[in-house]
Amino acid sequence: MKKTALWKDAWRAIRGNDKRFAAMLVIVAVGVMMLGGLNSVGRDIRAGLDEFFDETTMHDITIVSTLGFDDDDITALRTVNGIKDVAGEYVASVTTAIDGKQSSATVTALNSRGIDQPYVTDGRLPNADHEIAVTEQYLDDAGKSIGDTLEFRSDDSMAASEAFDATETFSDGKYTIVGTIVDPNDIVNPSGPLALISGSKTVYPMFVAADSLAGVNSGADAGTNSGNAVESDTDDLPYTSVVITVTGAKAMNTYGNDYLDTVADARAAIETIQQTREQARTDAVHSAALNTAMSAIDEQKAQIAALPDGLPAKTVAEQKIADAEAAAKQQVDALPSAKWIIRDRSAVTSYEDVKTQSDMIMRLGTLFPVLFLVIALLVSLTAVTRMVEEDRGLIGAYKALGYTRHETMFKYLVYSGAACLFGGLIGDVLGLIGLPFVFTRRIVSDLYTLPSYPLLVDWRLAVGGVLLFVVIITGAAMVACTGSLRLEPAELMRPKAPKAGKTIFLQRIGFVWNHLSFLGKVTARNLFRYKSRALMVIVGVLGCTALMTAGFGMGSSALTLMPRQHSEIAPYDVLAVTSAVDHDKAQNDLDGNADVESALPLQIGSVTLAPANGGNSGNASDSTDDAKITAQLMVIPDGESLHGYINLATSSGTPIKLSNAGDDVIVTANAAKKLALASGSTVNLTDQMADTADATVHEIAQYYTGNLVVMTQSAYEKTFDADFTPNADLINVRGDDDAQIAFADDLAGQNEYLSVTSSAKQERDFSKSFLMFFVMIGFIVTMAAILAIVVLYTLASTNISERERELATIKVLGFRRREVHGYVNKEMLLLACFGIAIGLPCGRALLGFLVGELDLPGMNIVPNVAWYCYAAAALLALAFTVLVELATNRSLDRIDMVGALKSPE
């Protein structure tokens, strides 16, 4: 009977205090949603990439070599412990015409082992000679569709920079497009912000069948059923790279420690045969080259030997042959040695980007729920404390009837526990289904072209999040009840004595107090009388304002990123890249072009940065634990200034001068942060020819978009022992943005140019692509609105219920409706203004923290809160306060004056 009465009383309490119950439920739902949702989003993103890699049999390890690979290398790798399968790959850099302009592409022959198989989105993979599969981006840019044809030619400029000749890898002629694919090694959305940030030229991935290989029999790669099968005639065509899968790795999560350890073990096993295979390949290539040269010389020797002895011409010919033989041996000795570069999946940019961003989202999934847990704690304390005050007499009756403390407390525990359970259930549904859908479909899909994302539900997190709020909130309810439950029944049944009046601090300031109106003095005394409630209003509005300031500031910081990059750091108008052999002609044309205000020739390339680990400069294989960053390398001619093109300066604004000393380089801030570099640090650089060298960081330069390494001609030639070969120009163009874009489009149509980037066009495209930030801003503002409305409504309704007798009194005294509204609302508006004033700088500090957590690849977001961000946050916080006041005005109008005046104060 007792239990039945207690349950009935508990459910009656929920119905009678439904607004407070709803406020607690909403706050708990939002907190659980963010805890479970944001963590689920991070895991879903990783799982999407893991499934995609499994479906395409993505390599676990890849190796490139300066002299390519032969079948003996493949056979040796297949015998290494822990290796599941190995395939040799043929890849060549080519150019193809798109809308009359030369564009870069990479063509890869499909291997029969199925490793790194492209994902087909439409059509099929090529299975015959002169069939090709391309990306959706290529079809869009070229205006083609499946069934159309394309032509490509070898990129002589790229072949010239490679350590072995790959210019004749694929057969010439027209190729028929048979399918559209996603390259597992490049899943960045080409129209998304990450592609625009990089500023690099577009390189279209294309795939052909092995039948299209030049100089290799159509079945060359087909006879690979056995582990040691010979795949091709190495003398005809060396493999350009090797892709490897590791035993047991596919069943593991690609980001799990077990996967990383398994791959690390396999990599260490490969390194045990590395030196032997490098030497064997070096000997084979050198021997083949010497045999070819000596074969021609031997033929000439035979012809000379047939001449009669004693002829002066024979003596001269013999001397020339001897000289030719010595020269041939010298050329062979000068050939490079084979050098392996062993990489795991961390070398794939998208792999590291997904890891970074999922970590960032999961960190936010820990930060935001803490904020809402604190707010839920305050709301529950307020709600339950007021309920206990209202139930003093009932609690006294329970105790007089013999109910224990725990039985009396039962109602309040059920009340708060039910709010947590129902709110947690709603939060789990929204967080585990709703948030992942919004984030993966609206934000992550802007970044990557993954075909799908699995919906992973971690029941431990789902249940644990709810239990966390249940324990904290019911604990707060117990604390709120404890004080009253200690009192005797007789004391509980008597009305609680009102708080004694006190002289407030403002009364001691006579010139202020004496000039306040009567209502002003009442408002001041009420603010100081109800300190805890006033503090909670301030905290609630502060949190709301801070969240919105951070949200709007994040949008302002992101959307001004590219404009600030071009106005403050990189004011050049156009970056035009040519091949090294075409640069002189292109430079002459620019010098004679009336639209060109100035142009700076330089050398541009790609370089991989890693922390220098000392003593391994002769071995290009990098450590699994080492971080790696791909950056654009700019080599500036000696004596030239970057003034007017790139303003190199530290984050504090101190200008940086180019250094001709030794191996000094300038590294931009984002790369330096990733690799923990500082001025004077040593960094390892690997260029496009797989040459590695250690360099000294001269300074860290501020840079907002992309990663950049700058060095002078002298420093480059000394560091890499290579000649300076200009292949690009930074150009300033006369005219407005439209004129600059038109100029860049005109250059892009000329065959000499491989890539032309207009800063003005980058700005326009960048702002259009940042839907993801608008979604995040909307999400943060929505959370702030929920926070403010729930807290303010709870406190406002509590304020009215506590002061019904006071408010009834002033109504009896003749206060009209609007005057009663102003009497109460003035206090909340003043407290809200205090909260806004404190919340604005707190929001700026929160933005700094969020930007530090928002670790987007290639982006160095610097907090930039425009004045209108502060204004919008303040106005919205005031608007939420006014909306709550309008809602609670109805409660003021419904106060029963007679009933309120009969009740004890």
Task: State whether the Cα torsion 108-114-115-121 is positive or negative.
Answer: positive
Residue 165's pLDDT is 45
What distance in Å separates the CA atoms of residue 539 and residue 88, rounded to the nearest whole number? Answer: 63
Residue from 121, 131, 202, 215 nearest 170 by CA: 215
Judge if pTM exceeds 0.85. Answer: no
Non-local CB neighbours of 302 within 8 Å, separated by 6+ positions? none
Task: Give the other-Cβ count within 10 Å of 31's Cβ.
Answer: 30
pLDDT for the residue numbered 608: 83
3-state secondary structure 69-133: ECHHHHHHHHCCCCEEEEEEECEEEEEEEECCEEEEEEEEECCCCCCCCCEEEEECCCCCCCEEE
Closest alpha carbon to 862 in 545, 559, 444: 559
Q: Are 547 and 731 in contact (CB under 8 A)?
A: no
Instruction: Say if CB 581 and CB 160 are below 8 A apart.
Output: yes
Going by C-alpha positions, the residue among 254, 242, 176 that lies closest to residue 208 is 176
First to last CA, the chain: 34
SS3 (DSSP) at 421: helix
Q: What is the SS3 assignment for 323-349?
A: HHHHHHHHHHHHCCCCCEEEEEHHHCH
* CA–CA distance, 141 with 26 (Å, rounded to integer): 48
Phi, psi for residue 849 in degrees, rounded to 5: -70, -45
Q: Enumerate residues 6+ apart whose C-beta is below 8 A from 305.
A: none
Distance CA 348, CA 357 (A): 15
Instruction: Record the tokens describing residue 741, joined without a space.
Output: 């874009």
Measured distance CA(753)–CA(746) in Å, rounded: 10
pLDDT along the chain (905 residues), means of 10: 73 81 85 82 82 90 89 93 93 82 84 91 90 90 89 63 52 87 80 54 84 58 36 60 93 90 93 92 85 74 71 74 78 80 82 76 75 76 79 82 82 87 89 77 67 75 86 85 80 72 74 77 76 80 87 81 83 87 87 88 87 48 55 88 88 82 81 84 80 85 86 87 88 89 83 81 69 68 81 80 77 80 84 91 87 66 85 91 86 71 59
